[in-house]
A and B are shown apart, each in its own frame.
Chain A
Amino acid sequence: MNIRTDNRNRLFFQASLLGVIAVLALSSPAAGQWWRFGADAGTPFFTDLLFNNIDAINVDRNLRISADDLDAGSVRVRGRVEADRGVIGRVESSLDGGLNWQEIPFNERGLFAFEFRPDIERDYRFMIRAFSTTGQVSDELDHSFVFRVVREDTRALARKVFEEIIRLYSARDRARFMSYVSSRFTGNAVALDSALSSDFSLFDSIRITPNIQSMGEFNGKWNIYFSFNRQLRSARTGETFRDRANTSLTLIREGESYRLYELATPLIFGLSDPSEVATSDTLDRGTDEIIEVDEDGEIKIVTPDDSEELDDPDSDPAPGIPHNIREGSVDLSVQVYADGSGIGHGEAFSLFDYTKKGIYATMTFGNELGSFVVFGDEVEAGEILGSGPISSVTSVPAEMGFLGEDSEPEEGRLYALKLIDGTYAVLQLSDVVINDDEGGIFETMTFQYRHQRNGTPNF
C-alpha cells in the first residue's frame, strides 16, 4: 500500500465518519431540550439494586452471574427507589421484557425485595419501574437488561475477564478496554484512559502471554498474581522490546462482569503514566528487566532498581541516604555506513534519567558524526576543564559560559556542566575506539560522569 492509497483510506474513513455524524445531527429529535434542565426532578429513580450480593444498579445490557452466586437456587432482588418530589406509589418488575409486570411491595423508605428461581443458561429480560403518586414513571430502560445464570463459577468468570482485558490491550482497543475499568478503580482512571491512548501510539504490536500463578477471592474481588512474557514493538523505530516479570491486579464484581479495580507495578497496562495508574507494588516482581516509558515517550528497559530511581528522576535523595552524587560510565556509538548511504544517528545520554537516547532527543551530551562531542538542551552552561582523573575534580565553577560542542575532543578531557535543573556534573571522555569492518566505520566514545544532584558545584 503506498502513500497515496493511505491518504485515500484516511479520506474515506474521515468522510464516512463525518457523514454519519451529519446524519445523526440532522436527525436529532426535537426532544433534545437541554434547557429543560432539572424539569424531571420528580421522576422516581432507583438508588440501589442488588441481585443477591451483586450490585446491579449500573448494569447496562447484560447481567451474568454464576451458579455460585445463587442463594439456595434463587435470586433475591433488593433495592431502593426514591423521588425528589412526591411519593412512590407503585413498583413493578418484569422478567419477560415488559410483557408481564409483577407488583412489588415496598415500605415507606422505598425499600423492596422479591425473589425468583432462574434456570441455568436461560436468558431473562429483566425490567423494573416505579410510579410516583404524581403520575410520573421512571425510565424502564434505565434498569433493563438480559439476566442469565451461567454454569461457570466466579473464578472462571474472573479468569475470563482477565484474559479478555489482556486481549483488548493487545488488540489496542482503548474504548472496550475502558469498559472493563471499574468506577471504583483505585488509581486514576482518567489518567489510565490517556495512558492507553499514548501506549497505543507508541506500540504498534503488543503481545502478552500471562501465566496465572494464584488467584484469591474475597467479597466480590479477585486478586490475580501472574507472571507474563511481553513483547512490544515501537511504532516509530520498529525496535522490539521484551521483558518477563511477575505482577498482580485485582478485579471487582460490578454487575454483569468483573472489572479492573487495582493495578500494581510492574505495570502491564498504561505504561505511559505509571505513577497515576499503579497504586501498589508487587513485592516478588522477579529480577528480570522491565519495559518502561519515560515522560518524553522514550521506551526503555530498566532493572527494578533503576525503575525506582526513574519513577521520580528529579527527586532529592531521602535524608540519611548518601547518594547525592551519581557516578557511572556510558558508551556512545556512531556508524558510518560502508555502502556510502551516509552516517547513522549517533547516540546520546541524559543525566535527567540516566538513559541512552537518540542524538536529536532531549539529552545532556552525545557522540555525533564521529569526532564531535555535542551537548544538548539539558545543558545550561559548561566549560572544558583540561585533563586528569575525574575523581580529582572537587568543585566546578558555579557560573560558566555556553558550551554547545567540542569539535576536537581528546581522550582524557574533562568537562564541567551546569544542567537546566540547577545541578552540576563532571564529564570525562575516557576512551575512543574506532572499528573499521565490512559494515562501515563504528566509533565508540566512552564517557565517565559524576552528577552532583544536591544543587551545589562541590563534588
Chain B
Amino acid sequence: MKKIRIVLFLLIAPVAVSSALAGTGIIIPLEPPDSIIITPSDTVYEIDGFFLEEDTGRRSFEWHSRISHEQHGVSGAGSGSSFLDSGGHTVGEVEFRSYSPVGENWSGELNTTFQVTQSRRYDPSDFSVRQIRYILSDSSGRNHLTLGDYYASLSQYSMNRSLKGLGYQRNFREGWYMRIAGGVFHPRWDHVAGLGKNRPVDRRAVGLRAQAAGERSILGVNVLTAWDWDRDPERTTQTTYSQMLYSLDWEHRVSGIILSGEHAYAPTRRQPAGGSDEDITGSANRINTRAHAGNLRFQFRGEHVTPDFYTMAGGAAVDRFRIYARGDYRIDSNWSVYAGNDWYRNNLKDRLTSTTRTLIPEIGLRARGLFDRRSLLFTSGIRRRVIRTEKPVGRESISDRLNLSLGDRYRALSLRGETEIMLNNRRKPSPGTKTRDYLYRLVADSRHLFLSGSLEMRPYITLSHQEIEDSLTGKPVRINSLDFDLRGTAVNNLSFGLSYGNRRNRSSIPGQDNSREVRYSANAERSMEFLGGARIQADFGQSRYRFSDSERNYRENFFQLSFNRSF
C-alpha cells in the first residue's frame, strides 16, 4: 500500500508542481461535478480509481497563554449606579493544543483550556476548566470522533446544543452520513463533576441523525432521547422533563426553487416539583420555500408549533402559528422593490384567557449604483405592526415605522445617513396613547495612508439625534450623541485607537433628570519580536456621568493590560 502511494505521488507530483508554478490566483477549470452538495473536507484525491492521501502524519504541540489585568475606579456621589466593580480584576488563560498520528491511518487532536481568576466579574470560580476536547479522525475523512466538548447539531427542532460527551460521524458517500451525539448539557466542567454553586439540572441526551442525499434532494431522520437527572436535593424545586423526539427534515430543489422543511413529534413527561407527573405530546412543523424566477425572488415560511411541544435540546417558539411571505423584485440593475407580510398567533389550543394575533406588513424600495456609482446604496421601507389581544384582556396597539437610509463612498470617504420614524398608537386598554419617536443618524468613515503606506489611519464619526415621546405625559426626551473613533495601524505590528463619545439626554418630563455622558479612551497593541512575538495590549479611559441632580453624578476610570503569547 505504501508503495502504491509513493508511485501515485510520483504521478501526481508533476501536476501539483505545474499548478504551483502556474502561480497563485490563476483559475484552473475542473471537470463539472455530479452534485453541488457540500461534502466533508476532502483529504483524498482520486486518480484513475486510485486514492492518494494527504500527509496527515505530523506531530505537534503548541500552547497559548493570555493574562489580563483590569483596574477599575469609580468615584462620585452616584457611584452606586456604576457599571464597573471598583478594584483590580485579573484573569489568566492557557490553552494547550496537540496533534499526533494514531496508528497508520488515524490522527488525534487534543485541546484543553484552563482559566484562573480572582474576580467574580469573570467567573464564579477561581479556577475553571474551559475546554477539554479530543478529536480522532481517519485519513479517509470517513470517520470522525469527538470526545469532550462537542457542538451537537442534528436539526433545529431535535438537537442544536453544545454538550459534554461524545460525537461520532460516519460518512458513506457524498451527502450520506450518520451522526451520533450524546452527553450532558452543562456549559461548565465543574458542574459535570458535581462541583460549583448554582448548578442547573443535569440534562442528558443521546441523538442520532441519518442523512441521505440525491442529486436534488436531502433527507434527514433524527431521533433523540433526553432526560433530566433530578436526584440532587438542591434542585428539587425545578420542573424536570424526559422525552423522545422524532424529526424528519428535508430539502428539495427544482428549477429555481428550493423547498425545505422539518417535522417533529415529541412525547414528553413533565415532572413538576411537588406535583404529579404529566404526559404531554406536541408537534412542530416548518416549511420554507425560496424561489427565483427572472428578476423575482420569493420566500415563504410557515411554522406551526403546538403549546405542548417541548424540545429539550433543540429550539422552537412554542404555541405559535406563523406565516411569512416576502417577494423581492429587481426592476433594473439599480432599483428593486420588496413587499412582505408576517402573521402569527398564539393560543393554538385555547388554553389561554385570550389569543394574541400579530400582523406585520411591510414594503420597501432599494437602489444601488445610481449615477454609475456602484457603492451608492439607498434603502427605504414602511412597516406596520399590529398586535391585538382578544377580550377579556383586550389590548390593541399599532405601530408604524418608516426608515430611510442613503450611503455612498467617495474615494476613501464613506458616508451613510439614515432616519427612522415610529408612530405608536396604543388603542386598548383605554385610555389609549399615541407617541412618536424619531431617530436620525449620520455615519462617516474614511481610510488614509501616510508615510508611503506604512501608517494607515481610519477615523469614524457618528452623529445621532433621537426624540422619544413619553406615553404618560406626552413630553419628549431628546438625545444627541457624537461618537468619534480613530483606528491606526503602523509598521512593526503596532495598532492603536482613540475614542471619544458625548451623549446628552434632555427630558421634558416633569421630575426627570437631564443627563450627560462623556467618555474617552485610548488603546494600543504591539507584537514584541524580542518576546517571541508576544502581543501586549493596553487600554485606558474615563467616563463621566452628569445629571441635573448632582447627587447622581459619578466618574469611572479603567485601565487594562493584556499579554498574549503562543509557544
Chain A residues engaging chain B, CB cutoff 8 angstroms: 1, 3, 6, 9-10, 13-14, 16-17, 20-21, 24, 27-29, 31-34, 37-43, 45, 47-48, 50, 52-53, 55, 71-72, 76, 78-80, 82, 84, 93, 95, 102-107, 109, 111-119, 122, 124, 139, 141, 171-175, 183, 186-188, 190-191, 193-194, 197, 200-201, 204-205, 207, 209, 211, 213-214, 216-219, 221-223, 225, 227, 229, 231, 235-238, 240, 242, 246, 248, 250, 262, 264, 275-276, 278-280, 282-287, 295, 297, 312, 314-316, 318-322, 344-345, 352, 358, 360-362, 377-378, 420-423, 455
Please pick, from B32, B156, B161, B203, the residue contacting A112 in the complex, using a CB distance under 8 A: B32
Pair A114/B28 contact, Cβ less than 8 Å: yes
Stretch at the interface among B1-9, B311-319, B450-458, B525-533: B311-319
**Shortest beta-carbon distance from B547 to chain A in Å:** 7
A/B interface sample: 26 pairs, CB < 8 A: A3-B508, A6-B467, A6-B506, A21-B380, A31-B334, A39-B294, A50-B36, A50-B38, A71-B41, A113-B31, A116-B24, A116-B26, A118-B25, A119-B24, A186-B156, A190-B342, A193-B383, A194-B385, A214-B131, A227-B123, A262-B315, A280-B311, A280-B315, A283-B200, A284-B188, A320-B278
Pair B294/A32 contact, Cβ less than 8 Å: no
Closest to B277 in A: A320
Please pick, from A31, A207, A321, the residue contacting B332 in the complex, using a CB distance under 8 A: A31
**464-489 of chain B: CB within 8 A of chain A:** 464-468, 470-472, 477-480, 483
Closest to A217 in B: B151
The reply to whether the CB of B27 lies closer than 8 angstroms to some CB of chain A is yes
Closest to B35 in A: A111
A17 to B435, CA, bound (A): 22
Closest to B23 in A: A117
Residue from A237, A264, A455 with most neighbouring chain B CB atoms (10 Å): A237
Write out, one digit per residue, whether chain B residues 148-159 have a CB within 8 A of any chain A CB (1) or not (0): 011111001000
A31 to B370, CA, bound (A): 11
Pair A13/B187 contact, Cβ less than 8 Å: no
Chain B interface, number of residues (Cβ within 8 angstroms): 150
Chain B residues engaging chain A, CB cutoff 8 angstroms: 19-20, 24-36, 38-39, 41-42, 54, 81, 83, 121-123, 130-131, 149-153, 156, 160-162, 167, 185-188, 191, 198-201, 203, 215, 253, 255-256, 258, 270, 272, 275-278, 292-296, 299, 311, 314-317, 320, 322, 324, 329, 331-335, 337, 340, 342, 344, 346, 351-354, 358, 360, 362, 367, 369-371, 374, 378-380, 383, 385, 392-395, 399, 401, 403-406, 417-420, 422, 429-431, 437-441, 462, 464-468, 470-472, 477-480, 483, 503-509, 511-513, 515, 517, 547
Pair B187/A246 contact, Cβ less than 8 Å: yes
Given A29-B332, A194-B360, the answer on whether A216 and B29 have CB atoms closer than 8 Å is no
A79 to B201, CA, bound (A): 46
Pair B503/A20 contact, Cβ less than 8 Å: no
A122 to B199, CA, bound (A): 48
Pair A295/B395 contact, Cβ less than 8 Å: yes
Closest to A42 in B: B294
Q: Which residues of B contact A102 (CB under 8 A)?
A: 27, 29
**Shortest beta-carbon distance from A296 to chain B in Å:** 8
Pair A319/B278 contact, Cβ less than 8 Å: yes
Please pick, from A41, A204, A315, the residue contacting B351 in the complex, using a CB distance under 8 A: A315
Closest to A101 in B: B27
Residue from B122, B161, B351 with most neighbouring chain A CB atoms (10 Å): B161
Q: Which residues of B contact A171 (CB under 8 A)?
A: 462, 483
Nearest 3 pairs of A and B residues by beta carbon: A216-B151, A279-B315, A41-B294
